Structure 1
């Protein structure tokens, strides 16, 4: 991946930024699935950890040809008034990486036992022995 394109959300008095970002990302997802190419990366360079938000910028990473092909597909139709497309730009030298992943906390043991009883048609005693 040698290039990137920034898609910035413009201020809109009727819709909050998070709603517009959700719509933009949904359109991107449909565009990528319809295209069938898996060589485009996505990042959110203006996310804020203090206020859990993705920010107002969606960054697409890829090779020049892949980015050009994606943007030619017109996947963001209906949002042209709400976005500003900047790029493609050359990716600068690395300043570091950030890995983002989802952590799913385990549920309470009591809930897991109830679920086990429903799925395996067992009694509470068996579920308690299986899930201490």
Structure 2
């Protein structure tokens, strides 16, 4: 049995949806870290019902899913997002997943593109004691563009900005083995509806 709760972003003329995603997802990340069970497992995963990698978008809705309603209650989204509600986010109540509307199961995972040519060249130059310009000639230019939607986040430890690319894949139903601190898993699938 699966349960879910949705966070619906409400951008305004002054506040873009990308800005809201960054601020809200940071709080979701913290709430997920703080929701670990007695064994240290995060039992809540995320889904993006409006996800598209054709025109890369996450949409406006974040769905949090868990095998038990108590897992979502432990997450305590109302407290985690208190400064955004009700103006910028709407939080639904915990509900049971409608099995009849379920199209199957999917996984959401973080996609990390290969390092850029410049990053590779810097590392190579430092390791081998050559100039960066010389090192750049050793690496071919990347031709593949990443076509996954992403959220622009800032690391809480070193304050560097990074893009959290999100990849969705069809999966078979798999028992919940836990999720990452971002709510992702390559193994634990969530209902797609």
Q: Shorter-normalised TM-score: what interval?
A: 0.7 to 0.9
1:47 aligns with 2:47: no
Offset at residue 3 of structure 1 (A): 0.1
Other-structure match for 1:9? 9
Aligned residues: 127
Go from structure 1 to structure 2 and tell me whether the alpha carbon gap of 1:73 and 1:82 turns closer, same or farther (over 3 Å shift).
Answer: closer
TM-score in terms of structure 2 length: 0.53
Higher gyration radius (CA): 1
- Within-5 A mapping of 1:51-130: 51-62=55-66, 63-71=68-76, 74-80=79-85, 81-93=87-99, 94-101=102-109, 102=111, 104-105=113-114, 112=120, 115-121=123-129
Question: For residues 121 and 25 of structure 2, what CA distance do their matches in structure 1 show?
Answer: 37
Superposition misfits of 4+ residues, deviation over 6 angstroms: none
CA contact (8 A) 2:49 2:61 kept: yes
Alpha-carbon distance in 2 for matches of 1:13, 1:58: 21
Q: What residue ranges of structure 2 are gaps of 5+ in the alignment? A: 140-193
Change (3 A) 1:72 1:18: closer
Residues 1:113 and 1:23: Cα distance change in structure 2 (over 3 Å): closer
Q: Which has the higher strand share?
A: 2
Instruction: Give yes or no for contact 1:4–1:60 (8 Å, CA) kept in 2.
Output: yes
- Taking structure 1 as the reference length, what is the TM-score of the superposition? 0.73
Q: Which residue of 2 aligns with 1:26?
A: 26
Q: Which runs of 5+ in 1 are unaligned?
A: none
Tell me how far 1:9 sits from its aligned partner.
Answer: 1.4
Cα RMSD (Å): 3.3
